[in-house]
Amino acid sequence: MSERNTLAHALHDIGLAAWFGGSLMGAIGVNGAAADVDDPRQRARVANAGWGRWTPVNLVAIGAHLFGGAQLLKENKGRVATQKGVLANTNTKLALTAGALGATAYSRVLGQKVMKAGDVPVAGGTDSLPTTPPEVAKAQKQLSALQWAIPGLTGAILASSALHEEQQRPSQVTGGILKGIPATVGGAAVAAKNMVTS
């Protein structure tokens, strides 16, 4: 890479940090604080209000992360193709990102169900009471798992990004490319053989 990609790195990293941090704070802070409200019928409203304010910011953060990541992938396509280990890490990161996007989107759908139910009695943002309507209790049970899945997935993306950074060290690039040569040459030989025989 001959050019700097500072803006792409910043969008990727800041967006991911906000996505991870916001989801973790929401699980601990927003959902937890809702349980402290005295009136059980107001607890869901408090949690929904907090998440409602965060959602537009989260969308911008996710968009920034995805845009920055796409730019970085474009700029590093040569390394992805030739440096041993980079493609595997890239595929892992893409799978984690897809999982985090799916979990985030489904959380929003479930949150909307709870919000549309109105002021129903709940124990907290993701905890029901015996008097909670069944459809709300079901949504809260799913949200209870997703509230930890999202920071878990985004945290794993952060770890994958850290590995990508390590893979960009000059010694890692050189060693990875040298280790990747047999696979690259072998793949080219198979492709050439297939062209000749077809």
Residue type, 21: G
Let me know if residue 113 belongs to a domain. Answer: yes
The pLDDT assigned to 180 comes to 61
Residue type, 138: K
Rounded Cα gap, residues 177 and 48, in angstroms: 50
Let me know if residue 23 belongs to a domain. Answer: yes
Residue type, 57: V
Average pLDDT over residues 102-123: 97
Let me know if residue 141 belongs to a domain. Answer: yes
Residues 6+ apart with CB under 8 A from 47: 30, 31, 33, 34, 114, 124, 125, 126
* pLDDT confidence tier of residue 184, bands split at 50, 70 and 90: low
Q: Are 43 and 35 in contact (CB under 8 A)?
A: yes
Greater confidence, 168 or 118? 118
Distance of CA 62 to the CA centre of its chain: 8
- Tens-digit pLDDT profile for residues 120-177: 999 999 999 999 999 999 999 999 999 999 999 999 999 999 998 888 877 655 655 5
Give me the number of domains the chain comprises: 1
Average pLDDT over residues 169-189: 60
- Tens-digit pLDDT profile for residues 62-84: 999 999 999 999 999 998 998 88
Flag whether pLDDT at 187 surpasses 80. Answer: no
CA neighbor of 44 nearest in space, from 30, 25, 58:
30
**Eight-class DSSP state of 133:** -
Let me know if residue 1 belongs to a domain. Answer: no
* pLDDT confidence tier of residue 182, bands split at 50, 70 and 90: low
Q: Which domain holds residue 86?
A: 6-197
The pLDDT assigned to 1 comes to 43
Let me know if residue 154 belongs to a domain. Answer: yes
86-116 helix and 6-25 helix, angle to the nearest 10 degrees: 40
Rounded Cα gap, residues 150 and 66, in angstroms: 16
How many Å is the Cα radius of gyration of the chain?
A: 22
Q: Are 44 and 52 in contact (CB under 8 A)?
A: no
- Tens-digit pLDDT profile for residues 20-62: 999 999 999 999 999 999 999 999 999 999 999 999 999 999 9
Q: Are 86 and 172 in contact (CB under 8 A)?
A: no
Give the end-to-end CA distance of the chain in Å, rounded to a whole number: 37
Flag whether pLDDT at 191 surpasses 90. Answer: no
